[in-house]
Structure 1
Amino acid sequence: MRAHVSAVTTVRRLLRRLAMQLRNETGAVLVIIAGGMVILLGMAGLVLDSGRAFVARSELSRAVDAGVLAGARALRSGESSARNQALAVSRANGVLPDDPRTKVDVVFGINADGDNTVTVTATRPMRTSLMRLLGRNWVDVGSTATAVVPPVDLIFVVDQSGSLGTAGAWDDLQDAARSFVDFFSDDLDQLSVVSFGTRGETRLPLQAPFRTAAKSQIDRMASVGWTNTAEGLQLAYDQLTGKKARDRAVKVVVFFTDGRPTAFRGTIGGDRRIMAVAANEWNVVRGYFDNPDDIPMDRWQWPADDACRNVVNCKIWKEGGHPPHGVRGRQIARDMGLAAANQIRNEDAFVYAIGLGNPLGSKLERPDTDYLSQLANEHGSVNSNQPAGRMYFAPSAAELRDVFQRVAGDLVIRLSR
């Protein structure tokens, strides 16, 4: 009997021990599960908050990119202006919310190539979500962008032919030209002024500083003579390839005219002369000039009385086997301009061509926009391996300032990268 009781008791004891062991293991499992859930939630929070941070950083990057480009475009107006522009555009794009912990810095420097740089760095704190389970309540989100502002060697080629004065556009042109010069920096850039009428002349060699001297030269010009497009462009080429030109600078020619080519320098009667053709008649030669370099730039000089003025066939001129006449001379003047522009573009230079004229006028009284587009190699239409410039057209003198401003704006945008 005692043995039987002892066996039951033993079984009960075993059952109690087993129950206690099960209870202890269940508690341990619950603890393990709870700890694991915290870790899993933390890891999920890391993934979630990393995604949120990526989106926030992308938004910040877009704002910083916009700000640094705005600063780069304004750098030619000084660092203070560049900083204000960078901050204003960054703010407009959301880089500076109301949170005072958001920081933005604008730094100016010079890179290894010697080019000026603008760098914008922005950081903002982002509150976490599930990562707070791991004790991380905030993460910093940041973005940095740098824009390079290369120097420019710019040749400003200005038509000063008599038609501008006749049309009452000369004063407007001088005013627009002076304002155009101010878009470029005495500290970063170099500028040369070339003008052309019956012949061309380098008014201001490529140099820095240039603002005061360039405006002074523009003021001294007078509207006289024919339109020797090729000579103006050839002188621009000479400046771009001269000793003052800098290898690291972006080379640009800004060319302005109000008409079609009506003069050129060539071998006429065995000597180097300039021939002028009528501006508004197809087949009339005005005459030639025996001593081209003696032609005054700022007062009228007509061909000598014996230079067959207004005569269709002028003296003896052996140019490609053709007798000289207005149509042939006009074509040669045109082709020489294209050849000079091609030389310029071969130097990896951009050509910006600006035309002024009444679009409703006769064909000879308005600029040849197709010709200007070819000078600029617009859209790479002439040679896709050369820099593609742009052509602009001002239908009236009153619009010249706006057109020059657009040209400068396009250049500044293109130069900021």
Structure 2
Amino acid sequence: MRTCKAAKQQGQVLFIVALSMVVLLGTLGLAIDSGMGYISKAKLNAAVDSAVIAAARAVTQGATQAEQTANAQQAARNFFSANYPNNFLGSNPVFPDPTVTFNGGQVTIDASATATVPVSLMGVMNFKFLNVAASAQSVRKDLDLAFVVDTTGSMAVDPTVPPKVRTNAKLFLTKFNQTLDRIALIQFAYGAVVRDPFKPVLRGFDINSMNTHIDAFNFAGSTNSAEGVWQARDQLNNVIAPTKRSSLRVIVFFSDGAPNSFASYFTFKTPADCISAGTLSTGDQTTPNWPAGLRHDDQINSQLPLKCWQNASIVNTTNTSYITKLPDWYNAHNPLNLPALQEFPVVTATPRVVTNDTSTQTNAWRNVNRASRNLLEAMAAKSRNEGVYVFTLGLGQELTIPEGADGEIGENVLKCMANTADALPRCVTAGAGQPVGLYCHAVDANGLKPCFDKLASAILRITK
């Protein structure tokens, strides 16, 4: 009897041990296989996220929605497979083509993926696979972008620079969606010309027309930067509001120097001698010279007729006809000096002191030079107050050399325009709460492509 009872007890112990082993293996398998499933899930999430981001960028490529959809889906596939390769942890991923939905100026990209992960120790509990899934959505906002290009004479000092400016300006345009994004192309030197305006209601831009205009750029004249930014802001505000404006509005400003010229209606000794608005310019030197002018503010490099054009005698009191003072307000587009259109003061105590005194060479040179810089910064600040991002690209070493009436560093003006964190303290304080843009400095023409790519990437990140 004892032997039989002992044998029976031994059998029960073996059964309990065996059952315990199954449970233990199952628990251990659950821990191990769940960990593998968690790793696969995290990897799948990252792969789907990267895929929709890549698709949102690639959807800018193509002239039709069908081409844009195909490019977006191909980019999504490439990024998904790079981030979740086949047989990762023995799994079998499935990634259907994302859906691409166009709605007005916005594109919504939805993607999802699944993966079947084989289990190891959980097999003892009759589990064969773990199924993991992930999904993501990217919404690319609509975009209105005013592209302002400096075509002053300093760009052509080195003959190898203009071809690289043309090439990289055209490449920059390819980063954006030809049917969804609006782009305006603006060229400036002594004056500014809108080569390709926005469509005020419809979307899209004509890249072939812009390429033709960029190929025709002639580089000559001085730097009336404010006129270029005035035209950019005017283009942005001319889009019929509020329903037709894009949710993201941007100015991209490209220059190789600090501003030294500005346009307005000026007061002559004999008012009838000149009744046209025009550009008054200084050089970039740090010693006084007589300002020169007037040139057309709506043309790139063209003199106004006499007596509006008198070159360096335009403010010289020894001349029989001369400018007696600077205007109180920038009024190049306000011939009647209507108070409602007086947005940007010429005569001001900040950030640089400007009076309307042109009685001496030093006073005339200093006031024109300072006003040129003040107006540019004020127009950029007003644009930012209106929710516009300002991105700036500076070319060349001249931007790092003290110039002008106050021996200023040109790139400080460009940083101030963009409201960057490393701008002068007065600019950052003035720009508190405003959109923060980006400044990129290309040391030479070989740095243009990286800088344009950097600006385009930053803009496209904001669109998502």
1:305 is aligned, of 280, 290, 310, to 310
Hey, what does 2:442 align to over in structure 1? 394
Describe the SS at the equivalent of 1:90: helix
Larger radius of gyration: 1
Q: Does 1:186 align with 2:189?
A: no
1:118-151 per-position Cα deviation (integer Å, ceiling 9, x unaligned): 3332322112233222311111122222222222
**Whole-angstrom CA distance in 2 between matches of 1:236 and 1:416:** 20
Shift of the 388–103 alpha-carbon distance from structure 1 to 2, 3 Å rule, reads: same
Aligned amino acid, residue 440 of structure 2: Y
Q: Which runs of 5+ in 2 are unaligned?
A: 62-67, 269-274, 329-346, 348-354, 359-363
2:254 is aligned, of 246, 256, 261, to 256
Q: Does 1:86 align with 2:76?
A: yes
2:394 is aligned, of 338, 355, 369, to 355
**Whole-angstrom CA distance in 1 between matches of 2:263 and 2:325:** 12
Q: Sequence identity of aligned pairs in percent?
A: 25
**Whole-angstrom CA distance in 2 between matches of 1:25 and 1:359:** 96
1:172-228 per-position Cα deviation (integer Å, ceiling 9, x unaligned): 322221222122111221100112221222221113232112222223332232211
Hey, what does 1:8 align to over in structure 2? none
Q: Does 1:335 align with 2:365?
A: no
Shift of the 190–219 alpha-carbon distance from structure 1 to 2, 3 Å rule, reads: same
Hey, what does 1:372 align to over in structure 2? 414
Describe the SS at the equivalent of 1:341: helix
Deviation at 1:298, TM superposition (A): 5.1
Hey, what does 1:13 align to over in structure 2? none
1:296 is aligned, of 273, 289, 299, to 299
1:233-278 per-position Cα deviation (integer Å, ceiling 9, x unaligned): 1111111122257444321111011211111123532775432112
**Whole-angstrom CA distance in 2 between matches of 1:255 and 1:196:** 11
Q: Is the 8 A contact 1:222 1:299 kept in 2?
A: no
Q: Is the 8 A contact 2:220 2:301 kept in 1?
A: yes
Q: Is the 8 A contact 2:152 2:188 kept in 1?
A: yes
Q: Does 1:106 align with 2:97?
A: yes
Hey, what does 2:188 align to over in structure 1? 196
2:148 is aligned, of 127, 138, 157, to 157
Hey, what does 1:210 align to over in structure 2? 206
**Whole-angstrom CA distance in 2 between matches of 1:51 and 1:304:** 79
Describe the SS at the equivalent of 2:198: strand
Shift of the 384–254 alpha-carbon distance from structure 1 to 2, 3 Å rule, reads: same
Shift of the 309–363 alpha-carbon distance from structure 1 to 2, 3 Å rule, reads: farther
Q: Is the 8 A contact 2:398 2:410 kept in 1?
A: no
Deviation at 1:157, TM superposition (A): 0.5
Q: Does 1:142 align with 2:133?
A: yes
2:35 is aligned, of 51, 58, 61, to 51
Describe the SS at the equivalent of 1:316: strand
**What is the total number of aligned residue pairs between the two structures?**
398
Q: Does 1:97 align with 2:87?
A: yes
**Whole-angstrom CA distance in 2 between matches of 1:400 and 1:34:** 72
Deviation at 1:373, TM superposition (A): 0.6
Q: Is the 8 A contact 2:293 2:312 kept in 1?
A: yes
1:269-291 per-position Cα deviation (integer Å, ceiling 9, x unaligned): 277543211233542233343x8
TM-score, structure 1 as length reference: 0.82
**Whole-angstrom CA distance in 2 between matches of 1:247 and 1:380:** 31
**Whole-angstrom CA distance in 2 between matches of 1:244 and 1:182:** 25
1:285 is aligned, of 269, 281, 290, to 290
**Whole-angstrom CA distance in 2 between matches of 1:380 and 1:396:** 21
Q: Does 1:69 align with 2:53?
A: yes
Describe the SS at the equivalent of 2:86: coil
Q: Is the 8 A contact 2:198 2:205 kept in 1?
A: no
Aligned amino acid, residue 188 of structure 2: F
Aligned amino acid, residue 438 of structure 2: R
2:116 is aligned, of 118, 125, 130, to 125
**Whole-angstrom CA distance in 1 between matches of 2:78 and 2:453:** 22
Q: Does 1:238 align with 2:249?
A: no
Q: Is the 8 A contact 1:255 1:353 kept in 2?
A: yes
Deviation at 1:232, TM superposition (A): 0.9
TM-score, structure 2 as length reference: 0.74
Describe the SS at the equivalent of 1:171: helix
**Whole-angstrom CA distance in 1 between matches of 2:193 and 2:302:** 14
